[in-house]
């Protein structure tokens, strides 16, 4: 089990929000430090309230894709949504979410998703994994260099280019060059498809 986790919940359905809080109170290592019903309060809340993870409803008073992109730079985001459309899951990942939980399965899957994301992995509902992976271009047997595999692994656990550069002792420009080479070798278009490739090859764990 991961250590203490401070969580902010943003969901405009009061009953569901209270249900999440009740579920999380049962966990000894989890503290809900804030819960919000409006997305426009998220930035000020994160400014004033230290947290380790954000649980974000995909549809509040506005679609959350833009919010994910801005907020994911500050804190890991798990989308909690009633939508079970593959395209919404892909859009959430592309915006920067580290996990996605369907509301109707939240009681059974939320803590697994939280712990998986806090361990540095990506979490998707099992029902979506095969759909997303099968929608990608089959890369075939591709030989990656040791450095390229290191970068793929770092991208797969959510690291950004600047973080990868610091970790590997190279420049951010070099990271970008390696990523472009990897994209061409694997036939993937972006970081989301690269993560799905990493899932398929066992580089990153998805529960």
Distance, CA of 62 to CA of 197 (rounded, Å)? 31
Question: What kind and span of H or E run contains 32?
Answer: strand 30-36
Fold assignment, 136-200: Arc Repressor Mutant, subunit A (1.10.10)
Distance, CA of 53 to CA of 32 (rounded, Å)? 10
Distance, CA of 37 to CA of 182 (rounded, Å)? 41
Under CATH, domain 5-125 is a member of which superfamily? Answer: Response regulator (3.40.50.2300)
Domain boundaries, the chain: 5-125, 136-200
Give which of 185, 183, 178 is closest to 140, Cα–Cα.
Answer: 185
Do the Cβ atoms of 53 and 117 come closer than 8 Å?
yes
Do the Cβ atoms of 29 and 1 come closer than 8 Å?
yes
Q: Name the β-bridge partners of 10.
A: 36, 56
* pLDDT tens over the chain, length 207 residues: 567 999 999 998 999 999 999 999 999 999 999 999 988 888 899 999 999 999 999 877 666 777 888 888 889 999 999 988 888 887 888 788 889 999 999 989 999 999 989 987 788 887 776 666 554 444 444 567 888 888 888 887 778 899 899 999 999 999 999 998 888 888 888 887 788 777 666 665 554
Distance, CA of 4 to CA of 171 (rounded, Å)? 33
The model scores a pTM over 0.75: no
Whole-number pLDDT of residue 123: 86
Whole-number pLDDT of residue 134: 53
Whole-number pLDDT of residue 133: 56
């Amino acid at each position: 089990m991961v250590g203490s986790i401070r969580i902010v919940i943003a969901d405009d359905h009061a009953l569901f929000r209270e249900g999440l809080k009740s579920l999380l109170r049962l966990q000894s290592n989890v503290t809900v430090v804030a819960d919000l019903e409006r997305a426009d309060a998220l930035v000020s809340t994160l400014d004033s309230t230290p947290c380790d993870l954000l649980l974000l409803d995909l549809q509040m008073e506005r679609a959350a894709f833009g919010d994910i992109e801005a907020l994911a730079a500050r804190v890991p985001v798990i989308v909690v949504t009633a939508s079970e459309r593959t395209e919404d899951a892909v859009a959430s990942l592309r915006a920067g979410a580290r996990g996605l939980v369907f509301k109707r399965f939240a009681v059974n899957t939320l803590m697994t998703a939280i712990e998986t994301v806090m361990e540095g992995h990506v979490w998707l509902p099992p029902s979506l994994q095969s759909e997303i992976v099968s929608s990608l271009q089959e890369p075939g047997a591709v030989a990656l260099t040791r450095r390229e595999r290191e970068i793929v692994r770092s991208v797969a656990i959510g690291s950004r280019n600047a973080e990868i550069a610091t970790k590997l002792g190279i420049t951010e420009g070099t990271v970008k060059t390696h990523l472009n080479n990897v994209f061409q070798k694997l036939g993937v278009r972006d970081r989301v498809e690269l993560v799905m490739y990493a899932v398929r090859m066992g580089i990153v764990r998805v529960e």
